[in-house]
Chains A and B, each alone.
Chain A
Amino acid sequence: MDENESFLRTSVTEISSSLIVAIADEMSDEDLSAFASVITTQSNQLHIKGVILNFSMVQMLDTFSMRMLHDVSKALQLMGVKVVWVGLKPGVVISLIDLGIDFDTVTIQTALNLEQGLELLAQESSL
């Protein structure tokens, strides 16, 4: 499968050296690994300072996807990119907690919605 084809399921927007990634609902394992490699290379090529993962379309997240997205975020963090997760729905959060996922809130920041996420990135870069 062409890497970009499966990656089409998520949309990426670039604004002022930040990437806003809208995570699609129910991404397959292939989608996820394609997403992981694309997002890290793009961040590198475009000299990205911050990445926002927008979960507002996600109704359900399994442990595998969570782990994948968590790992990508940590990799980005290592590359000096700020990562903010936004728009997690209460239902998704509750199921993640029930699954016993340990989320690293020290390296990955969270915000309620896209607006607050952007604010957070702006704050970080002005510091």
Chain B
Amino acid sequence: MSERPGFPTESRTIVISKDTDGGYVISIARMLARKAGFNENDEFLIAAAASELATNIYRYASAGEVAIRIIRDSGNSRAGIELLASDSGPGIENVDLAMQDKYTTKKGSLGSGLPSVKRIMDEFTIYSQIGIGVKIAARKWRQHGQS
């Protein structure tokens, strides 16, 4: 394990089971984004993305977890943040639809959560299986020159 993450501050897993866990995700995301060297704008953006994932887990799967960690690319030249959300809820019926702006199955919601996460982060993968759950991995890299 050459690039073992510094322990235990560089990676956190937050179990989502109640409304207020989203707040915890926000604080951790901001803390780790700051540690990874992101500026305040990106810190807010990353926190928003992490919070969207947590909110969706709580809303649609009722329980699951969000893992947030600082990552480095293979050349060890860039730092970034990785968000991993996983739940064992009902899964998403139609992922393409869910990724569209304004699509929601919850009355009164904006339906902008998932598309926003995709916009905010540089890499985004979603994997959903009906009856099994949803897994989302998203990464954002620090821009060069960002101190």
Contact = CB atoms under 8 A, between A and B. Distances in A.
Nearest to B109: A100
A98 B107 CA distance: 9
Contacts of A98: 108
B27 to A, nearest CB: 28
Interface residues of B, number: 2
Contacts of B107: 100
Interface of A: 98, 100
Interface of B: 107-108
3 contacts: A98-B108, A100-B107, A100-B108
A93 B91 CA distance: 35
A89 B61 CA distance: 36
A100 B108 CA distance: 6
Nearest to A97: B108
Nearest to A98: B108
B118 to A, nearest CB: 25
A98 B109 CA distance: 11
Contacts of A100: 107-108
Contacts of B108: 98, 100
A18 B140 CA distance: 60
Nearest to B107: A100
A83 B20 CA distance: 42
A100 B111 CA distance: 14
